[in-house]
Amino acid sequence: MSLIEEIQKRRTFAIISHPDAGKTTLTEKFLLFGGAIQTAGAVKSNKIKKSASSDFMEIERQRGISVATSVMAFSYGGKQINILDTPGHKDFAEDTYRTLTAVDSVILVVDCVKGVEEQTERLMEVCRMRNTPVIIFVNKMDREGKDPFDLLDELEEKLNIKVRPLSWPISQGQTFQGVYNLYRKNLNLFKPDKTRIADEVVKISDVNDDSILQFLSEKYVSNLRTETELIEGVYETFKIERYLSGEVAPVFFGSAINNFGIQELLETFLEIAPPPSEREAESRVIHASEPKMTGFVFKIHANLDPNHRDRIAFLRICSGKFERNKFYHHTRLDKNLRFTSPASFIGNDKQVIEEAWPGDVIGLFDSGNFKIGDTMTEGEDLFFKGIPSFSPEIFRELVNRDPFKTKQLEKGVRQLTDEGVAQLFLQQPGNRKIIGTVGELQFDVIRFRLEHEYGASCDFMPLRFFKACWLTSTDKKMLEDFIRVKGTQIGYDKDDHPVFFAESEWALRTNQNAFPALSFHFTSEYKRAGNLT
Ligand code: G4P
């Protein structure tokens, strides 16, 4: 098969949701369709139960599961589908944000009872930054939830995106009858059944066609007719280009646990979701169809076995063909590397692969060469854009508890932050280390892993910072003055860029007014982030 055919075949995406909306259930149903698993229950939820948030065994279990389920590849309807898994727990949100840089589109799951939840909003912000095409699946229609029109308004308002229903629910909860597919003009009738496999679809030419009365009572038909008329009047006609540019999100309704509406979602997804296309690097745009291999690392996973220090770096192929045993250029280190056993993941099995294509994600065994964001090429000196770091929300100073293990601590902290467990900022003089995370759990992970993998022990001193802001300035002197004046509130990130630790939103505004030439950014990807002013 040619490179173009391989690209056209691939769909690489992530399923995202607020915890408990049904991401794991939906993933499992997709895998059942693809034949990648045979029985329900085979996909383990990678959620850490709230009650066990500081249980180390639970952390280890999470890490074990997340490597096994990092990428789930299967084929369906002639397409090669790569689902990239994202951790459910909010403390691992940064990991999810990075995974979103490696996908070509997203399916967002929303619980019809709870509507748009906090984590949903944040995840969508990341998708909006990159104009990632999004399909929304409103789940749990077998429950009494919000009114579907209210839900659509809420989606538009909170997620800052236009929506367009492609299917429409006929009642919900106890009286849920099924959905009418506005796109294909067919009726999918609901019977609660956790063991059902495929949708039972009835073709009708139109909701106004009276043959619909064979399947639904008059009351439901009359409501459906009014509501579909309203939809056609209020929402713009679905245009695939508007979906592909990330401006409009098509919406489907269903029930993942009952395998209802999943096939219709999957089939429409395969019809409209984009194959791998182009990616921006710092120097130019790279097209997936370019013959030379390029790719970037978006996730690093440490080996669970402490006797084997190697890690798995997950490389997303962006262009060309990747081949086993061929030398590739690591652009940050300016070094050529060869991989003897690159792995792909099918269901829960890992397999050594001979080749991989754009859109594929492969695991490379790594003895410490990779950091998140690293680019591999066939020699060209380029760096992919778009692996941003987001401002952490919790800050602690790392204090060494065992001076005889300083080297181990330094090494451990460097490696863990390269893996993206947390962000490290250095303060001078004295190399003071500030660790920033989005959740408390990361501090437990760091302490546990420093002890078990590096033999080092540490304490964390709480710091009362509100955000870390990356600094840029149109006036070099003003930036230098600011850095000098702010002293203990300045640190340097992994790329040695200056960062300001603000104590409060108010303090940030005051500083912005006092130093007007400075820009304070909440993500390291300055150009897309926009300023605070
Ligand atoms: P997550 O990965 O997004 O966190 O959610 P997950 O799929 O684990 O689903 C969360 C809970 O919602 C699960 O129940 C699951 O069974 C249930 N669920 C998923 N889809 C539907 C649906 O369409 N209708 C209804 N009524 N429930 C649904 P649980 O009690 O937390 O877990 P379990 O004991 O069922 O595994």
Nearest residue (by CA) to ligand 1, atom 4, is 20
Cα distance between residue 325 and residue 172, in whole Å: 55
pLDDT value of position 328: 98
| Residues 320 and 292 sit within 8 Å (Cβ to Cβ) | yes
Report which DSSP code applies to 283.
S
Sequence-ordered list of residues with C-beta below 8 angstroms from that of 146, at least 6 positions apart, any chain: 112, 113, 115, 154
3-state secondary structure (DSSP) of residue 219: helix
Judged by average pLDDT, the poorest of 111-125, 181-195, 295-309, 463-477 is 295-309
Which class for 234: exposed (0-12), middle (13-18), buried (19 or more C-beta within 10 A)? exposed
Q: What is the mean pLDDT of residues 184-201?
A: 75
Q: Any idea what the Cα angle at residue 51 is, between residues 48 and 52, rounded to 5°?
A: 55
Cis peptide preceding 429, ω within 30 of 0: yes
Assess if CATH 3.80.10.10 describes domain 279-377: no
Amino acid at 112: C
CB 16 within 8 A of CB 116: no
pLDDT digits (tens, 9 = 90+) for 364-378: 988 889 988 899 999
User: Residue by residue, what is the 3-state secondary structure of 457-475?
Assistant: CEEEEEECCCEEEEEEECC
Backbone angles phi, psi at 10, to 5 degrees: -95, 140
- Does the pLDDT at position 110 exceed 80? yes
**Cα distance between residue 451 and residue 59, in whole Å:** 14
Please report the atom of ligand 1 found closest to the CA of residue 254: 23
Sequence-distant (6+) residues with CB within 8 A of 137 are 26, 107, 108, 109, 110, 251, 252, 253, 254, 256, 261, 265
What are the phi and psi torsion angles at 152 (to 5°)?
-65, -40
Of the listed ranges 49-58, 308-317, 353-362, 363-372, the one predicted with least confidence? 49-58
Model confidence at 136: pLDDT above 90: yes
254-262 mean pLDDT: 90
What amino acid occupies position 186? N
pLDDT band at 214 (very low <50, low <70, confident <90, very high): confident
Averaged pLDDT, 321-338: 96
**What is the end-to-end Cα distance of the chain in Å, rounded?**
51
The CB density around residue 226, as the number of other CB atoms within 10 Å, is: 11
**Hey, where are the domains in the chain?**
3-275, 279-377, 389-525
Ligand 1 atom at shortest distance from the alpha carbon of 255 = 23
pLDDT at residue 98, as a whole number: 87
**Is residue 38 very low, low, confident or very high in pLDDT (cuts 50, 70, 90)?**
low
Say whether pTM exceeds 0.85: yes
CATH number of the domain at 389-525, out of 3.30.590.10, 2.60.130.10, 3.30.70.3280, 3.30.70.270?
3.30.70.3280
Residue type, 387: I
C-alpha 81 to ligand 1 mean position (Å): 23
Mean of the pLDDT values across residues 226-238? 93
Task: For residue range 148-166, list pLDDT tens digits in order.
Answer: 999 999 999 999 999 999 9
d(CA 268, CA 197): 17
Strand (E) or helix (H) holding 327: strand 327-330
Cβ atoms of residues 413 and 327 within 8 Å: no
Q: Tokens representing 203?
A: 């073709």
**What does the pLDDT average to over 235-251?**
96
Pocket residues for ligand 1 (CB within 6 Å)?
17, 19-25, 45, 47, 88, 139-140, 142-143, 255-258
The amino acid at residue 300 is I
The answer to whether the bond into 274 is cis (omega within 30° of 0) is no
Q: What are phi and psi of 213, to 5 degrees?
A: -70, -15
- Of 29-33, 140-144, 172-176, 281-285, where does mean pLDDT reach its minimum? 29-33
Q: Which range is least confidently modeled, 47-61, 279-293, 305-319?
A: 47-61
Closest CA to 391 of 291, 487, 467, 316: 467
Q: Which of 177-191, 316-330, 505-519 has the lowest mean pLDDT?
A: 177-191
Mean pLDDT over each residue of the chain, to the nearest integer: 87
Beta strand 105-111 pairing with 10-17: parallel
Amino acid in position 153: D
| pLDDT value of position 348 | 57
Contact call for residues 96 and 108 (beta carbons, < 8 A): no
pLDDT at position 431, please?
A: 85
Integer-rounded Cα Rg, in Å, for the chain is: 25
Q: Give the relative orientation of helices 441-454 and 406-418 as an angle to the nearest 10 degrees.
A: 130
Per-residue confidence band for 312, with pLDDT thresholds at 50, 70 and 90: confident
Confidence of residue 324 (pLDDT cuts 50, 70, 90): very high
Give the model's pLDDT for residue 50.
44
> Does 3.40.50.300 match the CATH number of domain 3-275?
yes
22 Cα: distance to centroid of ligand 1 (angstroms): 5
Q: Which of 15, 23, 25 has most ligand 1 atoms within 8 Å of its beta carbon, as the pocket-test mutant?
A: 25
Task: Say which residue the tokens 């699946």 belong to.
Answer: 137
Q: 3-275 with 279-377: one CATH topology? A: yes
Nearest to 145 by CA among 105, 173, 108: 173
Residue nearest to atom 9 of ligand 1 (CA): 22
How far does the centroid of ligand 1 lie from the alpha carbon of residue 248, in Å? 27
Give me the mean pLDDT over the 12-30 stretch. 90
Q: Tell the residue number behind the tokens 């794991």, with chain if given.
A: 24
Atom of ligand 1 nearest to the CA of 19: 4
* Six-digit token string for 148: 């579907």
% of residues, the chain, pLDDT over 90:
57
Dist. CA 209–CA 180, nearest whole Å: 13
Mean pLDDT (whole number) for 346-362: 84
Considering only CA atoms, which of 474, 444, 494, 343 is closest in space to residue 57?
Answer: 444
Alpha helices in 367-504 (DSSP H): 406-418, 441-454, 476-486
Report how far residue 73's alpha carbon sits from residue 81's, in angstroms, rounded to the nearest whole number: 6
Spatial distance between the Cα atoms of 319 and 286, rounded to a whole number of angstroms:
7
- Residue among 138, 257, 265 whose CB has most ligand 1 atoms within 8 A, to mutate: 257
Q: Which tens digit of pLDDT belongs to each residue from 96-106?
A: 888 999 999 99
